[in-house]
Amino acid sequence: MTTQAPSTLDIGIGGMTCASCVARVERALKKVPGVSLATVNLATESARVEVVPDAQATQSISMEARLRRAVRDAGYEPRAANALLDAPDASPWAGFAPIAWGLALSLPLVLPMLGDVLGTHWMLPALWQFLLATPVQFVLGARFYKAGWHALMAFSGNMDLLVAIGTTAGWALSVWLWLSAEAGSMPHLYFEGSALVVTLVLLGKWLEAGAKRQTTSAIRALHALRPEVAHLIGFDGETDVPADEVMVGDKLVVKPGERFAADGVVLEGQTQVDEAMLTGESLPVPKEVGSLLTAGSINGDGRLVMQVRAVGADTMLSHIIRLVEDAQAAKAPIQRLVDRVSAVFVPVVLGIALLTLLGWYFTGHSFETSLINAVAVLVIACPCALGLATPAAIMAGTGVAAKFGILIKDAEALERAHQVDTVVLDKTGTLTVGKPTLRAFEAVQGVDADAALQLAASLQSGSEHPLARAVLAAAKAKNLQLSPVSEVSAVPGRGMQGMVAGHTFLLGSLRWMQEEGTTLVSDVVTRWQADGATVSALAQRLEVAGQVQTRLLALMAFGDEPKPAAAQALAALRARGIRLVMLTGDNQGAANAMARQLGLNPEDGEVLAEVLPGDKAAQVQRLQAEGRTVLMVGDGVNDAPAMAAADVAMAMANPDGGGTDVAMHTAGMTLMRGDPLLIAAALDISGRTVRKIRQNLFWAFAYNVAGIPLAALGFLNPVFAGAAMALSSVSVMGNALLLKRWKPQGIRSR
């Protein structure tokens, strides 16, 4: 009985301001029946909810409606899943009007303070101060009261509640001092403090929103790659249709300079295609009849006719967007510490503020002084920076990585990657070009070479293995006609067998042939392996005198070339202090020869050869048993078990896409082009992102640890506390955005 995977729903959430808001929304969503997991991201203003199988079917109301209601009941606004991403690009000054009004109304209140510095002592009449400060407090600051009230009703707390209580206390104290003052006297009022704190907090949120838009720029750019119109070839000729109406099997015309509306294959024409959005490669890629095309990439100067193979959510572009969104929506393990702190942070701050008020008052100070110090504690303690520290860095890091063709699937892989000390690499397709050629074909005495090659090609006619393609290419070059094959079956890690003209033939590795009892020509095999060739054999299974035997028919030598940057990439990894291991099913001689070309040392255990696909995972586990943190890099189906066993898995796309999808689903990271230099680049951006997370968390914690005692001891007034609180959130976002300047060494930018 198969276990059905939980379904995933995304919901946009408006009105969140800090880490406490995140915790409250998560609690509300987890209480909905059928929800198994809820992850809320402050930076993307969204939630990702996992729903147990069949939970939707058992509810009379749709699960999404129930989740939206839970968000609203918690005091926040449910929105479309991609509301932040799909919002049109606004002016840099969009949303600044409330701040401008706040500054205009607060400035006259602050000018007397500046006059004091210059030796001029004057003050606005109390009525004027009241008229200027009150609109700021209750009109511009209405959002704090609304959100704070919802938090209070939910027996929780958030940044808005702290700001609302603190500024209201300052405003109310000023009103009381004004009304209770003796006639003709001018008491010192604190209207300017409350008004300026509200304005500064609004300014901080506005700057923070602008930084958020920058962190989502990678996703927004990917969404913008989808064209709106496609040129469909129908019964009435060429017609324009919305791209959303394109179906699999349709034939489309793509004109020069246009983007492809779907994944497909070239039927007519040839061109150069800009696939930078997919691979990070800035050079155009030549396309001809039979070449694969990807939605969102840009046609060059040739007119093409293509047949659609994938549309909508099934396209590679949608898959890339989903991977990046998954990474940015996920929580890094380090975020759990923040979650635990934020769950109790606001109640603790309220308690400290109360103790500050009572402590100052009962030590002989005036109620006025005691209240101002308590207000400073409330204002400076807002946990905005804590909530933004991790997601802002993850969004910036994964976004800039995607720009260079590095897709990071989840935050856990991002966090673990910088700890890697051992990199295990598949050989074929990862370190080598992955397009081996048939260098030599030698039939045994008495066997016609062309007939043996025809048999080998016939057996391989349905295979997508690189060696099979090499055999088929050699047969095609000689214009050999393939024979019908029946009962074809693959023998994992060994080869394949089938029947031609009533006889059973085997084609595969030398190990398999030896297991079958085949006698091999040792001097030829030794010579070819010494030259670095991969050797396979063709044999026939016979029944002689009631016993099954195999007879060697031919030997084949295959050669592959290392990728141009492979040796440089391995040197870069070695320079990082990483141990390197090449893992391959090839024979030891061929593996050693290729390893030396790449700068690896077989004598130091850097080559593991003749490893069956099913045993690759065991080799990874053996390295882990030595206490190593292992990264497995592969490009095909046979690498998936080893990738699943590794601490971190990295899939490398190959040009034809064969087998890559399976590897990508297994891997936490995907390299969208087959450049080995991206391996070191991925580890580099991982390390830099984790450092940014730690820096942000350190400063966010340090800010509160230092700021709250200073405020409680009377060294900070509410205005400076408000400015510092706003600055903390902006500084965390700004520090994360520094990652957008990252450029990997040796890799071309788009």
C-beta of residue 300 within 8 angstroms of C-beta of residue 275: no
Q: Which residues pair with 564 in a beta bridge?
A: none
Residue 594, pLDDT > 90, answer no
* C-alpha to C-alpha distance for 241 and 518, rounded to whole angstroms: 61
340 torsion bin: left (phi>0), alpha (psi -120 to 50), beta (else): alpha
* Span 549-554, average pLDDT: 86
**What is the DSSP annotation of 433-497?**
-S--EEEEEEEPTTS-HHHHHHHHHHHTTT---HHHHHHHHHHHHTTPPPPP-EEEEEETTTEEE
Closest CA to 689 of 434, 369, 327, 379: 327
Report the mean per-residue pLDDT for the chain: 82
Output the CATH code of domain 437-559: 3.40.1110.10
Catalytic residue, chosen from 160, 250, 410, 426, is 426
Q: Is the pLDDT of residue 663 over 60?
A: no
Instruction: Please state the separation of Cα 155 from the chain's center in Å.
Output: 35
Q: How confident is the model at residue 137 (pLDDT cuts 50, 70, 90)?
A: very high
pLDDT recorded at residue 274: 83
Lowest mean pLDDT of 102-116, 123-137, 590-604, 612-626, name the range: 102-116
**Could you report the per-residue pLDDT of 13-59, keeping only the tens digit for each?**
988 877 778 888 988 999 998 898 888 887 778 888 988 876 555 55
Confidence of residue 161 (pLDDT cuts 50, 70, 90): confident
Question: How far apart (Å, rounded) are the C-alpha atoms in residues 144 and 146?
Answer: 6
CA-to-CA distance for 708 and 378, rounded, in angstroms? 8
Strands 579-583 and 607-608: parallel
Name every residue whose Cβ is closer than 8 Å to that of residue 746 and which is 6 or more positions away in sequence.
Answer: 565, 568, 572, 677
pLDDT score of 661 more than 80: no
CATH T-level assignment (fold) for domain 7-86: Alpha-Beta Plaits (3.30.70)
Question: Is 86 designated active site?
Answer: no
pTM over the 0.85 mark: no
Token representation of residue 520: 């091999």
Instruction: Determine contact, residues 437/533, Cβ cutoff 8 Å.
Output: no
Nearest to 631 by CA among 430, 416, 427: 416
Buried b / exposed e across 287-326, counting CB within 10 Å, b at 16+?
Answer: beeebbbbbbbbbbebebbbbbebbeeebbbbbbbebbbb
Express each pLDDT in 199-239 by its tens digit. 877 877 776 676 666 656 666 667 777 788 999 998 878 89
Stretch 457-471: mean pLDDT, rounded? 81
User: What is the number of other CB atoms lying within 10 angstroms of the CB of residue 560?
Assistant: 25
DSSP conformation class of 562: B
To which residue do tokens 């996703």 refer?
219
pLDDT for 84: 55
| pLDDT value of residue 60 | 47
Cα distances from 628 to residues 179, 551, 621, in angstroms, run: 72, 45, 9
Query: How many whole angstroms separate alpha carbon 450 and alpha carbon 432?
Result: 29
Say which DSSP state 432 is in: B
Is the distance from CB of 566 to CB of 676 less than 8 angstroms? yes
CA separation for the pair 413, 648 (Å, rounded)? 6
Could you tell me if residue 233 is left (phi over 0), alpha (psi between -120 and 50 degrees) or otherwise beta? Answer: beta
CATH for 228-260+263-310 is 2.70.150.10
Task: Please check whether residue 500 is in contact with residue 484, taking contact to mean a CB–CB distance below 8 angstroms.
Answer: yes
Distance in angstroms (rounded) separating the CA atoms of residues 534 and 560: 9
Give the C-alpha separation, 456 to 67, whole Å: 59
Question: 259: closest CA among 307, 308, 312, 297?
Answer: 297
Q: What's the average model confidence in pLDDT over 165-184?
A: 83
Band of the pLDDT at 684, cuts 50, 70, 90?
very high
402 Cβ contact partners less than 8 Å away, ≥ 6 residues apart:
218, 222, 320, 324, 408
- Percent of the chain at pLDDT > 90 equals 18
* Helix and strand totals (H; E) in the chain: 26, 26
CATH number of 420-432+562-646: 3.40.50.1000
pLDDT at residue number 711:
87
* Token pair 């205009």 in the structure block, residue: 104
Bigger pLDDT: 732 vs 423:
423
Domain ranges of the chain: 7-86, 97-218+325-395+688-741, 228-260+263-310, 420-432+562-646, 437-559
How do residues 630-648 score in pLDDT, each as one tens digit?
999 987 666 777 888 888 8
Instruction: Quote the CA–CA distance of 306 and 268 in Å, as a whole number.
Output: 7
Res. 527 pLDDT band, cuts 50 70 90: confident
Dihedral (CA of 171, 173, 175, 177) sign = negative
Tell me how far apart the alpha carbons of residues 474 and 453 are, in angstroms, rounded to a whole number: 8
Most confident option among 63-72, 275-284, 657-666, 727-736: 63-72
The three-class DSSP label of residue 232 is strand
pLDDT of residue 188: 74
- Strand ranges inside 99-257, DSSP E: 229-234, 237-242, 251-254
What pLDDT shows up at residue 466?
74
Query: Region 288-304: what's the mean pLDDT?
Result: 88
Query: Cα–Cα–Cα angle for 303, 308, 313, nearest 5°?
Result: 125
How do residues 107-136 score in pLDDT, each as one tens digit? 888 777 665 555 566 678 889 999 999 999
Q: Is the pLDDT of residue 143 over 70?
A: yes
Candidates 536, 584, 532; CA nearest to 559 is 532
What's the distance, CA 665 to chain centroid?
A: 13
On whether the CB atoms of residues 471 and 456 are closer than 8 A, the answer is yes
Average of pLDDT values for 721-749? Answer: 77
Q: What percent of the chain has pLDDT over 70?
A: 84
Closest Cα partner for 460 from 498, 512, 509?
A: 498
pLDDT confidence bin for 1, thresholds 50/70/90: very low
Instruction: Kindly give, in sequence order, each residue whose CB lies less than 8 Å from that of residue 481, ignoring residues fewer than 6 positions away.
Output: 454
Give percent helix, percent strand, percent coil of the chain, each to the nearest 5.
50, 20, 30
CA-CA distance, 590 to 42, in Å (whole number)?
Answer: 52
The answer to whether residue 653 scores a pLDDT higher than 60 is yes
Contact 134, 140 (CB under 8 A): no
- Is residue 94 exposed (0-12), middle (13-18) or buried (19+ Cβ within 10 Å)? middle
Closest by Cα among 318, 300, 299, 320 to 310: 318
pLDDT tens-digit readout, 318-334: 877 776 666 666 666 66
What letter represents residue 463's amino acid? Answer: S
d(CA 196, CA 99): 10
Collapsed DSSP state (helix, strand, coil) of residue 683: helix
pLDDT tens column, 388-440: 777 778 888 888 888 888 888 777 788 888 889 999 998 877 888 877 888 88
Q: Which two tokens stand for residue 308?
A: 């659609």
- The set of residues, in sequence order, having a beta carbon less than 8 Å from that of 346 and lying 6+ positions away, is 20, 151, 156, 157, 158, 161, 162, 383
